[in-house]
Amino acid sequence: MTIKRCEVNLGPNSFFVKVRSKGQDVKVEVRPNHILIPKSKNGKPRTVPLSNIARGVFVDLLADEANSEYVFANHSRSQISTNNGPADNGQSAPRSWLP
In a domain? residue 87: no
Judging by DSSP bridges, how do beta strands 24-30 and 15-21 pair with one another? antiparallel
Bridge partners (DSSP) of residue 16 are 29
In a domain? residue 85: no
In a domain? residue 96: no
Residue 44 belongs to domain spanning = 2-75
55-98 tens-digit pLDDT = 998 888 888 777 778 787 665 544 444 454 444 454 554 555 54
Half-sphere exposure at residue 29, Cβ-oriented, CA atoms within 13 angstroms: 4
Q: Dihedrals φ, ψ of 46, to 5°?
A: -150, 160
Report the number of distinct structural domains present in the chain.
1
In a domain? residue 15: yes
**Element housing 3 (H / E):** strand 2-4
CB 98 within 8 A of CB 84: yes
15-50 tens-digit pLDDT = 999 988 888 888 999 999 999 988 888 888 999 999
**Element housing 61 (H / E):** helix 52-64
In a domain? residue 37: yes
In a domain? residue 24: yes
